[in-house]
Amino acid sequence: MNKAFTKESDSEDDDDGPSLPALPAGGKNYITPQGHDRLRAELLQLIDEERPKIVEIVHWAASNGDRSENGDYIYGKKRLREIDRRIRFLIKRLDIAVVADPSAHHGSDQVFFGATVTYANDDGDERTVTIKGIDEVDSLQGEVSWVSPIARTLLKAREGDTLQLVTPVGVETIEVISVSYPAPAAQ
């Protein structure tokens, strides 16, 4: 049978598996307003700009005839599936997103979502982390997900508290040095 009349097998390319860590079962998808805006902008860019361009390329390539050896068509269809998968993922995540503004806790010394926390271990090594949503974390910027072990250990602690952090190599004692939040936006 001619390949043009067979259904493309894209089962391994078309799963809805997350490209980011999964949310805890029954948990909420906490996210900062900036993170929510960034995900929404990505979704709109995919829908309004990137997908229509790829659809146009696939349409053009399909009109050229033999699709089985047409690289533009094959790559375009694959890219279209990737875009559609990302759109579905973003829609699902944005639907369950709970926007939490960290500036609401400005001036507090207790650790909540959105806090920037400096802590020290027994050796005196200090580290600063910012607790953010799963979908907006950038580990190179010192950001950690609110479901990470360090964030779960720090949450609800106050400046000066000594905590027990469970690590793969054992339990480590850490002390909360400082807690800060972004200032509220001027209205």
Pairing of strands 29-31, 170-180: unpaired
Both 106 and 175 in one domain: the answer is yes
Check residues 16 and 177 and name the one with the higher pLDDT. Answer: 177
Q: Cα–Cα distance between 101 and 180 in angstroms, integer?
A: 13
Task: Supply the range of the domain harboring residue 122.
Answer: 102-180
Q: Which residue has the tokens 């043009």?
A: 4
Pairing of strands 126-132, 143-145: parallel
Closest to 86 in 3D by CA, of 46, 27, 124: 46
End-of-domain residue from the set 57, 75, 99: 99
**pTM above the 0.85 mark?**
no
**Average pLDDT estimate for 153-169:** 91
Q: The domain spanning residue 86 has which CATH number?
A: 1.10.287.180
pLDDT of residue 119: 95
Q: Cα–Cα distance between 27 and 30 in angstroms, integer?
A: 9
Q: Is 169 helix (H, G, I), strand (E, B) or coil?
A: coil
Contact 163, 184 (CB under 8 A): no
End-of-domain residue from the set 48, 64, 99: 99
Task: Kindly indicate the confidence band of residue 23, based on its pLDDT and cuts at 50, 70 and 90.
Answer: low
pLDDT of 15 > 80? The answer is no
**Average pLDDT estimate for 132-149:** 91
**For 26-35, 49-58, 80-89, 142-151, which range has the lowest pLDDT when averaged over its residues?**
26-35
